[in-house]
Structure 1
Amino acid sequence: MPELDRTPPYLQVVQELRRRIVDGELADGDRLPSVRQIAEQWGIAQATAMKALAALRADGLAESVTGVGTVVRSRRTLHRSAADRLDRALRTGKIYPEDEYAVIQAAELAVAPTWVADLLGLEEGAQAIRRHRVTHNADGPVSASTSWFPAEFAESVPALLIAERIPGGTPSAIEAGTGRRAANDATEEASAAFRATPEQASDLGISAGDPVYVGRNIYSDVNGEIIEIGESVAPEGRWRTHR
Structure 2
Amino acid sequence: MSPQVQREKPPYRQIADHFKQQIVDGKLSPGDSLMSERQIATEWGVSRSTATKALAALRTEGLIAARQGAGTVVSDTRSLHRSVHDRYGTVRRTGRIYSPGQYARITDAALVPAPEDVAAALELASDATAIRRHRVTYNAEDQPLACSTSWFAGDLAEVAPLLLESERIRQGTAAYVEEMIGRQMRQGQDRIAARLATAEELQELALPDPSAVLVTLHTVWDEDDRPLSYEEGIAPPERWTTYDYPISAG
For structure 2, list consecutive stretches of 5 or more residues without a partner in the other structure: 245-250
**Alignment of structure 1 residues 169-208 onto 2, 5 Å:** 169-183=172-186, 186-208=187-209
Deviates more, 1:141-150 or 1:7-16: 7-16
Give the counterpart of 2:28 among 12, 20, 26. 26
- 1:10 equivalent in structure 2: 12
TM-score (norm 2): 0.91
- 2:168 equivalent in structure 1: 165
Letter in 1 for 2:236: P
Q: Report the Cα offset of residue 236 of structure 1.
A: 0.9
Q: Report the Cα offset of residue 179 of structure 1.
A: 1.1
Distance 1:25 1:62 in 2: 14
Is 2:37–2:48's contact at 8 Å kept on the other side of the alignment?
yes
- 1:146 equivalent in structure 2: 149
Distance 2:71 2:194 in 1: 34
TM-score (norm 1): 0.94
* Deviant stretches of 4+, over 3 Å: none
Note the aligned Cα RMSD (angstroms).
1.5
Deviates more, 1:104-113 or 1:159-168: 104-113
- 2:134 equivalent in structure 1: 132
The structure with more strand, counted as a fraction of residues: 1
Name the CA shift for 1:133/1:143 in 2 (closer, same or farther; >3 Å): same
SS at the partner of 1:83? helix
- 2:78 equivalent in structure 1: 76
Is 2:221–2:228's contact at 8 Å kept on the other side of the alignment?
yes
SS at the partner of 1:231? strand
Distance 1:236 1:114 in 2: 28
SS at the partner of 2:119? helix
Is 1:200–1:208's contact at 8 Å kept on the other side of the alignment?
no
Is 1:89–1:171's contact at 8 Å kept on the other side of the alignment?
no
Name the CA shift for 1:224/1:27 in 2 (closer, same or farther; >3 Å): farther
- 2:243 equivalent in structure 1: 242
**Alignment of structure 1 residues 43-54 onto 2, 5 Å:** 43-54=45-56
For structure 1, list consecutive stretches of 5 or more residues without a partner in the other structure: none
Aligned residues: 241
Distance 2:113 2:210 in 1: 26
SS at the partner of 1:143? strand
SS at the partner of 1:239? coil
